[in-house]
Amino acid sequence: MLRKLRSASPDILSTSVAFTVEIFLIVLFLFDKLDDDMNFDDFSSMKKKKKKKKKKGFEDGQENTEEGTKEAVENNDENGVKEDQIDDDGTDFSLPMKKKKKRRPQAKENEIEPDEQEKEGSQPDYADREYTYEELLTRAFKTMEAKNPNVVAGEKRKFIMRPPQVFKIGTKKTSFANFGDICKILHRQPKHLLAYLLAELGTSGSIDSNNQLIIKGRFQQKQIESVLRRYIKEYVTCHTCRSPDTILQKETRLYFLQCETCGSRCSVASIKSGFQAFTGRRAALKSKQQ
């Protein structure tokens, strides 16, 4: 490809174009990575989603940016409008052009020469655009934090959880050391959380004398964490206002989640372990039946 290009157009120009395009792509890539990192910093799941969507909007061009900004309006309630306008202007400048740039070098490189010249003509704009993209990103985050700190900080404060301490016991069992503490933090009965964990993990287990949970099978802290997160989402946070001030009541065989903050009340799914496949030794099963 490169050789063809060289033969077609003057040496220095074509190579420099290719080079700048490459650098540009790398820079883009780095930015995306940065973005991801930032997302990981936020703990509450809601924020994650919204930010991600916004990010996509930044990359995908006009239609998506519109969607993204709509969401942003919802996010920021009253003062989002100004920001959005700024954002829109910025994206109109930078993004669709970028997209084209990205695709062109791959698709049409060896087809037409005039295309190359076009590129050269618009080359000086690269620096400006790159700058605005960076600027926009930091600016958007800053304004979001500055204008509604209670949304960012408030949600975070509520969802701080102590991480589960998970240790291996031998090769076949896992201990969940601060099980009792976590039940206390969540204000749920150990029995309920135990039932959920065992049903989700598809194993058996028990609570020992110093309130730690012993589960059969090998599990890592990461895995237990994800299950706990799901438990909190389903059985602890209010489904309407997402506050964790809730009470779980049992009435007529159904569990109801009563929110202390907004007073809403809704039923939650009962814990079912469902189908359990037989994984032991077949011979043992046979001897039992006889």
Partner 1 sequence: MSVQNFNSADPFAVDKSEQEGLIHIRIQQRNGRKTLTTVQGISDKYDKKKLVKYFKKNFSCNGTVVDHAEHGEVIQLQGDQRQCIHDFLIEIDLATKNQVKVHGF
Among 201, 213, 235, 246, binds partner 1 (CB under 8 A): 201
Q: Is 165 in the site for partner 1 (CB under 8 A)?
A: no
Quick one: 185 or 227, whose CB is closer to partner 1? 227
> By CB under 8 A, which span of 4-12, 108-116, 136-144, 222-230 interacts with partner 1?
222-230
Q: Is 275 in the site for partner 1 (CB under 8 A)?
A: yes
User: Going by DSSP bridges, is the β-strand pair 265-268/254-259 parallel, antiparallel, or unpaired?
Assistant: antiparallel
Least gap, CB of 149 to partner 1 (angstroms): 17
Quick one: 203 or 212, whose CB is closer to partner 1? 203
| Dihedral (CA of 92, 98, 99, 100) sign | positive
Least gap, CB of 267 to partner 1 (angstroms): 6
Quick one: 141 or 256, whose CB is closer to partner 1? 256
Q: Is 252 in the site for partner 1 (CB under 8 A)?
A: no
Residues 6+ positions from 141 with CB-CB distance below 8 Å: 38
CA–CA separation, 140 vs 228, rounded Å? Answer: 32
CB 197 within 8 A of CB 227: yes
Q: What angle do CA 220, 226, 230 make, to 5 degrees?
A: 145
Q: Which of 170, 174, 173, 190 is nearest to 182 (CA)?
A: 190
> By CB under 8 A, which span of 96-104, 108-116, 181-189, 223-231 interacts with partner 1?
223-231
What residues does 268 pair with on adjacent strands? 255
Judged by the rule CB under 8 A, the positions of this chain that interact with partner 1 are 74, 199-203, 217-219, 223-224, 226-227, 239-241, 243, 261-262, 264, 266-270, 274-277, 279
